[in-house]
Structures are given as structure tokens and as C-alpha cells.
Amino acid sequence: MTQAHGPAGAAPATVHGHAPTGFIRKYVFSLDHKVIGIQYYFLALTAVCIGMILSLAMRIHMVWPDASIPFFGAIKPEQYLTLMTMHGTIMVFFVLTTAPQSGFGNYFLPIQIGAPDMAFPTLNMLSFWTTFVSFAVMIAAFFVAGGAPLSGWTNYPTLSAIPMAGPGEGLGEDLWLISIALFCVASMMGALNFITTTLDLRAKGMTLMRMPLTCWSWFITAILGLLAFGVLLAGGILLLMDRNLGTSFFVPGGLVVSGVPVQHSGGSPLLWQHLFWFFGHPEVYIAILPGMGVASQLLSTFSRKPIFGYRAMVYAMMAIGILGFMVWGHHMFMSGMSPYSAFAFSFMTMAIGVPSAIKTFNWLGTMWKGKIRFTVPMLFAIGFVSLFVSGGLSGPFLAQPAIDIPLHDTYFVVAHFHLIMGVAAIFGIFAGTYYWFPKMYGRMMNDALGKIHFVMTFVGAYCIFMPMHYLGMAGNPRRYSQFTEVKYLAPLIPIHKFITYAAIITVSAQLIFLFNFFWSMKKGKTAAQNPWEATTLEWTTATPPPHDNFGGVTPVVYHGPYEYSVPGAEKDYIMQTDPTPVPAH
């Protein structure tokens, strides 16, 4: 149980004082980034369970439209669309934007950079509780008159702007917008904290280029969020105004919906699409970057080898971040937008494939001539690379507008974003969970159960999403509640059935994870302080870390985070706080 000692540490600048007492201050309105990180994580865990159940109901309805599903009953077409809308919304916002960044980032960013907490702990607590209220409002949409909206997580007007356009587009839609607005505010506050913390609270010796790649990913993700969420908030405000205050930002004149003339005039549905996707594209990088950071971290640790090309990895993430703001139009090639701008967006989109490829090469390069330990976190990191390759490579098809013509809004797109977000990013969350669980709870998760969970999820996810490419090529449009009307879809239904069976099995396999998680919290094997023999700062603290993380002593960092297998060193890893010199590089 050695702790790193530096020179007599400075008192931290935040008044970090004494640990809180009392249940409310310790576990409810805690200012401790570790508690807040866990709160976010559990919010995301709840959300993902709801999101998965929604997707199961969707898949079952698609292949057995007349079936009565337990808890849901017989699902009408509009209800299917509601399930789909809420599935997408909950997964993208409350799972993928929450767990990897606000969950793990909150817990481990301060520790990995040697800080006692985030820069603004009170703001941090406010961010979480605002997110919580946002989630509650989103769920409330299910229960109001008309139910939750059916306009998709992308929420295009005029379907989302005119209450008459569909069931759920009344109060449910307004609640959706309010929930998202709250989420935007919470995210902006969180991003502020992450950025300030990374810039200002690094311990002595922790230069930016010595930060673990997880910290870089959280930092760059926070910058993306900082700049993107404001635009979504603006769009949401404008849409709320169109719906409730009679303005016409998005609704043109002369429309008739369900026989009723619409009173708006002069607006443009494309304006929403521009605003939404200007946010929406950085959002998907927000969803994947932390997973990339975790993958880099784990691949290095469990190959016992430094990450291949640390600087290139940093610059690649920066490039992805910057380019991510310039490609939003590739979601709009078919929208009626100027075909000339499609040209520009297409070029930038193909360009963004380059830094992503660099990262993949570097992950392979990290494992090359390594000494790979097949721990469960490592399995998920390896799985991440495979899934990222699979999901990423369908991008260059969609990035070319000519090819996008037949593929837009088909299952090809569904395959693409699910493989990257719905599986690879989720694998990043799983990898982080198995990896950091010992530090958070002082116990190891069960290894055998973890391996079974990995194999079933990896194979299952491929079974679900690979065939969707074929469906897209065959012209199967997305967001169809059933395939009984459009005749050319009939031969594809057996494939849909296969996907549904695979989904049922894969979702069931997640019960193994849930059981493992909660059982191990109490009954798992006791964890050593550094069970993975890793080098970064979180493995120097007690388990779980005390309130101020380092027990009153600020760590001092001597070198980068990936000093594994240093020739001539006693062990095959040198911790960042270990003064032993390493070769210059």
C-alpha cells in the first residue's frame, strides 16, 4: 500500500476542507466528484435499461406487428414511433453523453491529473441534478396526454412543430424540448468544469503531454460539448416558440395537416436541420471520443507497452474534434439543401476518416510486439477496436453524396451509427466499468462472468447490426413500424426476424453484467490497490480514494503515463509518480 510522496505538498486551492457527514451531504447533494461521477453513472445505467427495453419492444413489433408484448400490450404504429423516438433520445443523451464523460470523466479526470476535485464542485453538483431533472422530464413525457413524441431523436419540423401532425406531438413534444434544453444547460456547466479543471488543476509535473489519453479525450469532448450544446439550445428555444408562441422559424405557409390549415408562414424546416446537425455531428464525437481514450489506455496497459504514437493520438483527437464541426451537412444531402454545399461537406467528411484511421493503426501498433493480458477490460477494448473498424468503414459510403442517394434513411445508416455508438461506445463504457470497478468499490468483478458477457455481447452485436447493412443495400427504409405494406420488403422479413432473435439474446446477456456489477459490489474478490499493474495516478490512491483523493499529499509526476516494459527497469511498469528515469522520447 505505498503512496507516492512528493515534496511537502501545497494545500489545494479549492477549500477542500473536511469530508462531508450525513447521508444527504455525502450521497445526495455531494460536492465530491467521485460521488457525482457515480450518480451520473447510475443515471446512465437506469437510462440504458429503459432504452434497451424500448428497443426490444421495437424489434419484436417490427417482425410480429400484431403481437401483444408484455407490459406494452399491442403496439400501434404511432406507439412504435414513440418507442423509437425515446429509445434514440435516451440512448444518445442519457447514456452515451453521460456515462463515458460525466460518469467516468467526473470520477477519474481529477484523480488522473493529480487534483483533489473538480475546479467547481458546487457547479458539478448542480450539473448532475439538472441532468437528473432533465431525465425526469423526459420520462414524464410518456405519461402525459398524447404520450411521448414520435418525431425521432432528430425531431424535424414540421412533424415536430405542429401538434396536429401526430399523436404525442402535443404536450409530450414540449416536455421533450424542455428536457433537452435542461440537458444542454447541464452539459454546458459540466463542460466548463472539465475544461477549467484540465487547464488549471494539474499536479506538479503533469504537463498536458503527460496526461493519460483518457484525460485528453475528456478534455476535447468537453470542448466539443461547450461549443455544440448552445446551438441545440437555440434550436430548441426556437421550436418551443414556434409551437407555443405563434412564431414561424421553421414552419412555412399554406400547410394543411389532417385537414386543418396551419397558421404559420415563412419559416424553413431546413433551418432546424442545420441547427440540429451543427450540434448533432459533434455530439456523435462526444459519444465516441471518451471510448477512444479508454481503449487507448487499456490497450497500452494490457499489452504492457507504451501507446504507439502518443502525440499522433492527441493530434488525431483534436483533428476529429475540429473537423467534427465542419461536416454536419452530410446528414442533409437529401434534404433539399444546395447540392454545391454537399460537395464541401462530403470532402470534409472523407477527411475526418483520416484521423480515425490513424487511431486505429496506432491501436494495432500498440498491441504489436506486446505482451497481451486477456483481462475482461482488455477484451472489451479489443472489441472496441473491431467494432470501431466495422462501424467506421460504412462511413465513407454515406459520406459520398452519390452513394448516399440510395442509402440515406435506410438500414445502412442504422447499421453504421449503431455499430459505432450503440456498440463500440458501449464497449468503451463496459471496458471502463470492468477496469475501474476495483478502484471505485475495492472489489474485482467476477472474471468468468465478464468473459461470458463479452463473448455474448460481441457476437450478439455483430449478429444484430451486420445484417442491417444488407437491408440498407436492398432499400429497406428506416423508422418503419412494420414491413407489411411495402412489397419489396417482404423477402427481407426473415432477416429482420434473425436480428430480433439476436437482439433478444444479446439484451438478455446484459443481465449477466448487471448481476456481476451489483453482486461484486458486495461479494467480489477484494481488490489490491493496483490490481492491473497500471501506471496512472488513480492507482496510487487508496481504494476507494479518500475525499480529497490523495490523502492530503499532492502527487508529483515525473513522466508520461505509458511507461511499460522499460528496458532495464525492475518491473514491467513504472508509475507516473515514480522518479525512476525513463528513456527520452
Site for another protein in 421-460 (CB under 8 A): 451, 455, 458-459
Touching another protein, residues 544-563 (CB under 8 A):
562
Q: CA 276, CA 151: separation in Å to the nearest integer?
A: 14
Angle in degrees, CA 8, 12, 14, rounded to 5: 170
Closest Cα partner for 316 from 285, 345, 355?
A: 355
CB closer to another protein, 22 vs 339 = 339
Q: How far is the CB of 195 from another protein (least distance, A)?
A: 5
CB closer to another protein, 438 vs 472 = 472
Options 45-53, 98-106, 145-153, 528-536: segment touching another protein (CB under 8 A): 145-153
CB closer to another protein, 416 vs 543 = 416
State the distance between the two ends of the chain, measured CA to CA, in whole angstroms.
30
- Per rule CB under 8 A, count of chain residues that contact another protein: 159
By the rule CB under 8 A, 130 interacts with another protein: no
Among 402, 448, 523, 570, binds another protein (CB under 8 A): 402
For 189-325, where are the E strands, in sequence order?
256-257, 260-261
Q: How far is the CB of 269 from another protein (least distance, A)?
A: 6
By the rule CB under 8 A, 170 interacts with another protein: no
Rg of the chain, C-alpha, whole Å: 24
By the rule CB under 8 A, 149 interacts with another protein: no
Q: How far is the CB of 574 from another protein (least distance, A)?
A: 11
Q: How far, in whole angstroms, is CA 237 from its chain's centroid?
A: 24
By the rule CB under 8 A, 230 interacts with another protein: yes
Q: How far is the CB of 424 from another protein (least distance, A)?
A: 13
Residue count (the chain): 585
Which is it for the CA torsion 184, 409, 460, 361, positive or negative?
negative
Closest Cα partner for 214 from 436, 478, 13?
A: 436
Phi, psi of 40 (to 5 degrees): -60, -45
Q: CA 534, CA 301: separation in Å to the nearest integer?
A: 6
Touching another protein, residues 45-104 (CB under 8 A):
76-78, 81
Q: x-or-dash pattern for another protein, window 240-259, by CB under 8 A?
A: -x---xxxxx-xxxxxxxxx
Q: How far, in whole angstroms, is CA 246 from its chain's centroid?
A: 35
| Residue 58 vs residues 87, 166, 236, 458, 460: alpha-carbon distances, Å | 9, 18, 27, 21, 17
Among 27, 42, 143, 347, binds another protein (CB under 8 A): 347
DSSP code for 143: G
By the rule CB under 8 A, 543 interacts with another protein: no
Q: How far is the CB of 521 from another protein (least distance, A)?
A: 26
CB closer to another protein, 48 vs 342 = 342
Q: How far is the CB of 443 from another protein (least distance, A)?
A: 22
Touching another protein, residues 270-289 (CB under 8 A):
270-271, 274-275, 278
| Residue 481 vs residues 91, 249, 371: alpha-carbon distances, Å | 19, 30, 48
Q: CA 248, CA 229: separation in Å to the nearest integer?
A: 22
Q: How far is the CB of 173 from another protein (least distance, A)?
A: 13
CB closer to another protein, 48 vs 118 = 118
CB neighbours of residue 581 within 10 Å:
11
Among 23, 71, 523, 583, binds another protein (CB under 8 A): 583
Angle in degrees, CA 423, 426, 429, rounded to 5: 155
CB closer to another protein, 20 vs 65 = 65
In the three-class reduction of DSSP (H, G, I as helix; E, B as strand; rest coil), residue 251 is classed as coil
Burial of 352 (0-12, 13-18, 19+ CB in 10 A): buried
Residue type, 196: T
Q: CA 315, CA 321: separation in Å to the nearest integer?
A: 10
Among 139, 191, 292, 294, binds another protein (CB under 8 A): 191
Touching another protein, residues 348-387 (CB under 8 A):
350-351, 353-354, 357-358, 360-362, 364-365, 367-374, 379, 382, 385-386
By the rule CB under 8 A, 473 interacts with another protein: yes
Q: x-or-dash pattern for another protein, window 499-538, by CB under 8 A?
A: ----------------------------------------
Options 135-143, 283-291, 299-307, 541-549: segment touching another protein (CB under 8 A): 299-307
